[in-house]
Amino acid sequence: MGYGGCVKIETTLIQLAEEHLQRMAALPWSSYCAAIVRGKAGETFGCEVDGVYFDVGDQARWLDQPDGDVLLMAHASTEGAHGQAMRVERDTIIRRSD
């Protein structure tokens, strides 16, 4: 895969991570609170784009204190040309609204 392929993969990684973060950020704080308490605050799934396999996922944790704001992180990764790992991460804070 040449330089153009790496650029396309990086662009796809950014797009996948940002789109996943937007979808996950639409969930209410209470969803993340329950998931963190249960120890199930994250998931990863696979998808294929133009014949390239990507892992896309998320993780949530308390930002500063339990039952406070939540740090939501989304990521996308793949193996690029020559087997080197490529990963993009995005994050946002889900504020607790009282």
Domain ranges of the chain: 3-94
DSSP letter, residue 27 = S
pTM of the model: 0.85
CATH architecture, domain 3-94: Roll (3.10)
> Whole-angstrom Cα distance, residue 26 to residue 9?
26
Tell me the pLDDT tens digit for each residue of 6-33: 778 999 999 999 999 999 999 999 999 9
Torsion, Cα 88 93 94 95, to 10 degrees, reads 180
Q: Are 96 and 29 in contact (CB under 8 A)?
A: yes
Structure letter (DSSP) for residue 63: S
Kindly state the helix (H) or strand (E) to which residue 51 belongs, with its residue range: none
Instruction: Tell me the two tokens of residue 23.
Output: 């979808």
* pLDDT tens per residue across span 28-53: 999 999 999 998 889 999 999 988 89
